Amino acid sequence: MRFTLTSIIILLLFTLSFSQKAKKEAPKYGWQKELVGNLNFTQNTFDNWKQGGENSWAWQLNINGKWVNDQKDYNWENTLKINYGKTKVGDASSKKSTDELNVSSVFTYKMGIYVNPFVSVTGLTQFTKGYKYEADTSYAISEFLDPGYFMQTVGIGYAPNNHIKTRLGAAFKETMAKKYAALYSQGKKLRVEYGANSVTELNFKLAQNILYTGKIELFSNLKAFNQIDVNWDNLLASKITKYISVNFNVKLFYDRDVSPKRQLQEVLAVGLTYNFF
């Protein structure tokens, strides 16, 4: 867990540094909508290639949406994140490389100060079955809503500018599982935990065509320090042309109920991108 704590400290210092430099922008009231799709595909084919190699292909679809209704007295933000991809090497069957469905809704009441009360609802699951591969065998270990993670939080939020937002509150966390309850929810079909939830979001334009977005979510059931759940998602996006982009995504996940060690995923993708609105 040492790596996770160090990363959190670095992130907080990064946040504090930029919060002093970011300029406050004039508010724009009303609905602001954004939906961006990104499709990446790679293929390798060999025919009588003496240096060796196997045919392979991989594809990944990313969709990110945000619908925000910002008014003088309140702010209602809804987000959608979809990631799905597969890969195939040689004669082996295709395997899932990424699979995520993440939705959230946050309603904030503005009190005319930086600290404002909020209520939020979040959900996280996947679309299709996930498999564990061992030698020449494989077996399913997850599927849609198995597991599914849901959280409801009430607390206060702090937003010094349009680049940094953080919130903290009391939370209910539900872990839903069926066939694989032993792996994710201590054998229960619905495990409910009570505790504290913290979410910090960053959004910085590092250059004319380079954007960094980060989101770190922490949940503690207040029982032990090493039982703090961590979900830290970082995306560095660079737009080469109107329809071609390069994305580098690093995700760190820690849930002691799933694994005593942190989980890490890195994805570097080049492909087509399209703004629906």
Tell me what pLDDT residue 2 has.
Answer: 47
**Residue that is written with structure tokens 């320090």 in the block:** 225
Tell me what pLDDT residue 258 has.
Answer: 86
Helix or strand holding residue 21 (H, E): helix 2-21
Task: Identify whether the C-beta of residue 28 lies closer than 8 Å to the C-beta of residue 70.
Answer: yes
Tell me what pLDDT residue 28 has.
Answer: 77
Contacts of 80 (CB under 8 A, 6+ apart): 63, 64, 65, 66, 102, 103
Tell me what pLDDT residue 92 has.
Answer: 86
Tell me what pLDDT residue 14 has.
Answer: 56
Please state, in angstroms and rounded to a whole number, the distance separating the CA atoms of residues 171 and 63: 28
229-268 pLDDT, tens digit each: 999 999 999 988 989 999 999 999 999 888 889 999 988 8
- Please compute the mean of the pLDDT values over residues 206-210 and round it to a whole number: 89
State yes or no: pLDDT of 19 exceeds 80: no
For the domain made up of 2-22+31-275, give the CATH fold: Outer membrane phospholipase (ompla); Chain C (2.40.230)
| Integer-rounded Cα radius of gyration of the chain | 20
Q: Within 13 A of 57's CA, how many CA atoms are on the CB side? A: 7
At residue 144, the 3 state secondary structure works out as coil
- Model confidence, pTM: 0.84
State yes or no: pLDDT of 150 exceeds 90: yes
Percent above pLDDT 70 for the chain: 90
Tell me what pLDDT residue 220 has.
Answer: 95
Q: Which of 99-103, 161-165, 223-227 has the lowest mean pLDDT?
A: 223-227
- Please compute the mean of the pLDDT values over residues 120-145 and round it to a whole number: 94
At residue 271, the 3 state secondary structure works out as strand
Task: Identify whether the C-beta of residue 250 lies closer than 8 Å to the C-beta of residue 262.
Answer: no
| Residue 170, number of CB atoms within 10 A of its CB | 12
Q: Give me the torsion for CA of 69, 214, 27, 274, rounded to 10°.
A: -70
* Mean residue pLDDT across the chain: 89
Task: Identify whether the C-beta of residue 130 lies closer than 8 Å to the C-beta of residue 142.
Answer: yes
Band (pLDDT 50/70/90 cuts) for residue 27 is low
Q: Within 13 A of 31's CA, how many CA atoms are on the CB side? A: 6
**Nearest of 61, 174, 187, 59 to residue 124 by alpha carbon:** 174
Contacts of 130 (CB under 8 A, 6+ apart): 96, 99, 140, 141, 142, 143
- Please compute the mean of the pLDDT values over residues 163-179 and round it to a whole number: 96
State yes or no: pLDDT of 109 exceeds 90: yes
